[in-house]
Amino acid sequence: MLSILACGLVFFPGLFYGLRKVLKSTFTHWNDADVVAVSERLVSSIHASLATVSGMIVVNTCKNVMTDRHWLVNSFVVFGAPYMAYDIYAMYLTHYHQQRLRNNRSAYQNHSLQTVKAFLSKERLLVLHHVALLLVFLPIALFFRRGLGDFFIACFWMTEFSTPFVSLGKILIQLGHENSKLHWINGVMVLCSFFTCRILLFPYMYWMYGRQFDIPLHSVPFHLPLHCNVGNLSILAPQVYWFILLVKKAHRLYLRKGKAQGPKKE
């Protein structure tokens, strides 16, 4: 496991560093904010793709949702753990360079406690999400579940399916293609993938558990320990919140596009 952890510690920061070098030399007109932001989102998309594929492999392999085991589960949990810590740093760098570019204030000329506080205030929900995965999800997945539930761990990985679409949307906006057809199609994919893999996934897991033990879907929560339901709800709640934000953003973009086009002539 230590060798797998070491691979994760090298892979994600190394990929981020390498992408920054390549993008900086390829797109010479980009500023530091562009380079760091795109690099962060590309690494995020790669991690999400690895998690999704791993999740699909395990889900399709496990016939018994409680007791079937797959070697990929613990291995990817350990390999992916450094990503959570790295991504907090990468998000901070993105925030720092973007604020420095927009404000050009002395407070953003150098890294300081003030810049860290501003980042934590803006991205507190995402940072809390990453920290919770490291401090809560990781120990549970590795030590406290007694070898049960590889299927459900894999299902949680599949929530990352929407991440590449979210990242692509941000990159397209950053490159000035927010009014392109590709951005519109990607926006539809964001909403569909997010709703399917981050919200509908939870009733799907309950349904699969009920199917395993011949329990009706509406009765499954009453057959599970309280901490399981509370844990699922604590993960589902921010997903619903983020989905609402995505829908509101899509609605604003749709209205803005309609106003830009103006009324059609007869």
Inside any domain, residue 223: yes
For 199-222, the pLDDT digits (tens) are 999 999 999 999 999 999 999 999
For 26-68, the pLDDT digits (tens) are 988 888 889 999 999 999 999 999 999 999 999 999 999 999 9
For 141-168, the pLDDT digits (tens) are 888 888 888 999 999 999 999 999 999 9
Inside any domain, residue 266: no
For 74-84, the pLDDT digits (tens) are 999 999 999 99
Q: Report the candidate in 155, 158, 166 with the shortest Cα–Cα distance to residue 189.
A: 166
Inside any domain, residue 262: no
pTM recorded for the entire structure: 0.86
Inside any domain, residue 263: no
Q: Are 79 and 46 in contact (CB under 8 A)?
A: no
Determine the pLDDT at residue 113. Answer: 84
The residues near 121 (Cβ < 8 Å, ≥ 6 apart) are: none
Determine the pLDDT at residue 181. Answer: 86
Determine the pLDDT at residue 266. Answer: 45
Domain of residue 19, residue span: 2-255
Inside any domain, residue 264: no
Inside any domain, residue 260: no
Inside any domain, residue 87: yes
Number of domains in the chain: 1
Inside any domain, residue 261: no
